[in-house]
Chains A and B, each alone.
Chain A
Amino acid sequence: MQNNFPNEGMSVIVKTITRFTVWLIFLYGLYIVIHGHLSPGGGFAGGVIVALSYVHLTLAYGKNFVLERVDKFAMNSLEAIAAILIVLTGIVGLYITGYFFANFMGVGKLYTLLSAGYIPMLNIFICVKVGMGLYLVFYYLASFKPKEG
C-alpha cells in the first residue's frame, strides 16, 4: 500500500507491527460476529472490535491515511442501510408470522453455524451499524477543532 502521508502517525516500528495486527483484529471481530449465536459476543461486541481495527489503523498511520481509503459518506450510508435492514427484518417477521421481530426463518440444528434463524443475520447488520457508527464517532471527535479564543 502506498502511503501518501509518510510523516503522519507513529514510528516505523508501530506502523510495521500494525500492518500485521490490524487484520488479526478485524478478523477476530468478524469471528465474534459470525459465531454470535453460538458463543459469547455478538453483533455489538464484534462491531466494536471491527471499529477498533480502524481506530488502530488511524492511531498508527494518522487519520488522513485512513480517510483516503474509506469514504465517510459511504460509512454513513452503510450505517443507515444496516439500521434500515434491522427494522425491515422486524417488519418481515410481522408480515410472515404476525409478530413484530418474530424469528421467521428455520432455527436449524443446535450448535451448527447456520442455525438460530435470523439471529446471525441480525448480528451482521448490528456489526455494520455499530462498527461504522463507532468509527464515525471516533473520527468526528478526532477531527474536531475547538474555536480559538
Chain B
Amino acid sequence: MSQKQQVRVTIDETELTVPAGTTIMEAAEQLGIYIPRLCYHPDLSLAGSCRVCIVDVKGMGHFMASCSQAVWEGMEVQTTSPVIRQARRDVVELILDNHPKDCQTCERDGNCELQNMAYTMGVRERLFEGRRKQFPLEDSSASVVRNAEKCILCGRCVRVCAEVQGVYNLSQHGRGFTTVVGPAALSPMDESVCIQCGQCINVCPTAAFLEKSSTERIWQALADPALHVVVQTAPSIRAAIGEGFGLAPGTPATGKMVTALRRLGFDAVFDTDLGADLTIVEEAHEFLARLKEGPLPMITSCSPGWINFLEKFYPDLVPHASTCKSPMSMLSVLAKTYYARQKGIDPKRVFMVAVMPCVAKKYEAARQEHVDETGIPYTDAVLTTRELTWMIQCYGVGFRALPDGEFDSPLGTASGAGDIFGTTGGVMEATLRAASRLITGKPGPRIEFTEVRAVEGLRETYVAIGEHNVHVGVANGLTNAKVLLDQVASGAKKYHVIEVMACPGGCVGGGGQPYPPRGVKVLDPDLLRKRGGALYQIDEGKTLRESYENPAIAELYENFLGEPGSEKAHQLLHTRYQAKLPRGIR
C-alpha cells in the first residue's frame, strides 16, 4: 500500500507536514488556528461560496478560500493580517448588503450565524446599501417555511437535503442576483418531494428556513377556559431542552420540563414515552405475526420524515412499514378516548399539544390517517423543542431554578424502552427487549442490545432471540437508509426488521431541536451522542426497562384496549400508508 504523499506547508510562520489533499483550513486547525467561516460545514461537501474564510497565499496575488483550497508543497499561508481582517469584514458586509434589516423582530435573533459573523467581523455600520431581494414567503408546507429574502445562498440546505437525506428537493435556480433556492420548478414545498424533515432549518445560518409556528394557536388554547389543554413530550425533548437554557448538552431535564409545562398552564402533562411503550407492544405482536405470514422485513414507522420518504421514494416498499401509529399519534388517540372518558370530559374539549423534536410531526398530525370520525385531528398542534423553549422564556418561567415535576397519570408512566426511542437504534432495542419476552415467554436474559445503537449512521447485525437469529438493520439519515432499502428492493438481503430514523442520530438530531450553542456545529456527532447519552442514562436509572413491564400499559389493555393486536387496538392504533406523488429519484 502506498503511503499518502506528505506536503510541507508554512502557516503563519509555523511549518507543518500534512497529507496531500488537506485543505488550508484543516491544516490551520491542526495548529489551533480557527479561520472564520460561514458556508462551510464539516459533514457537507465544499461550496466555497461565502468567501469569509479567505487567506493570503504567498505569490498568488489574490486571496484564496481556505475551506476548498488544498495545500501544496512549499505553500506559505498567512491566515490573518490587517488587510485580511478588513477584507473579511468587507465580504460579510457585502453579504449583508441585500439582507433585510429586521434583526430585532427576526426568529433567529440571537442565534443567527450571519448576525454573529457580522458582529465578530466588526461590522458596526452598513455602508453598502444594495437592492433588496423580493420574494414571496413560501408557507404552503405544514412544516417548513421558506423566506428567500433572508437567504444568503450559502447552499448548506441544498447540500444537507441531497447529501445527508438523499432527497435532492432543493437546488439553486437561475443566476446572479435573482438566484433563489427552492424545489424543482420553484413549485410550492407541499407539491415537491420535500419530506419535511427540517434539516434545512437546522443547517440554515439565517431565518431563510424555519418551522411553521404553532405557538400562537397554543397561547390561544391555553387562554380558553372551555378547553382542557393537555400536552405530551417526546423522549428526545428531555435530552435537549436544557440546552436552550444554558444547561450542558446531554443534561436530562425531564422534571424541570414537566414543571415548566404546568407553569405554562397545561391541564395535564403526559409522556409520549408511554405511547412508545404501547407502540412496542403492538409492534412486537405485529412482528411475530409477520415472522409467520410476512411481509418481511418489517420497517419501523415512528419517524414521519421517513414515512414521507417511503411514500415518495420507495412506494414499492410501503407494505413493509409497520402498521403501528407513531407514539405521538397513539398517545393523542388515548388522550381523546381513554383519558377523556376516564375524566368525564367531552373529547371535543380536549386540545392535544405534542412537543416533538421534529417538524415533520406537524405534517403527521394533520394527515388524514390521524383524524377522528368527525374529521378532528387527534393531535391538535405540534410544537418543536425550539418553539417550546421560546414559550417558556416568553412566559417568564425561570427554567433552571424549577423543581422537578412528575408526569400525570394515566398516561405518564413509561419504561426505559420508551425513553430510548429518541435516539438511533432505540426503537430496535426496545422491540428486541419486547420480542425477546414474547418469543421466549419470559423476561429476556438480556436487556441491553448495544449492538444496534447505530451512532455511525448505519448498522446491520444478527441478534439471537430464542431459536430465531434475527437479521436487523438500523439507519439514521436517509442516505444511510437508502443502502438498506436498496438491498430490500433488489432482494440482495433478507432482513427481518429494520429501523429507519430520518434524521442524523435519530430524534436527538431532529429538525426541531435547539440550534447548537455558539462554537458547536449543528449535526455535530458529539452533540448528538451527548443527547442520546442522556436517554440511555435515564433508561439505566429506571427499574422499569421493558415495555411489557409497564403497569400503565397493562392497565390500558385491561380497562380499554383488550389485548395487543385486538380489533379495538387495530381500529385506534394502526394505520396504512400509500404511494404519493411526485415520485422522488432514489
Q: Are A and B genuine complex partners? A: no
A interface residues, Cβ below 8 angstroms from B: none
Interface residues of B (CB under 8 A from A): none
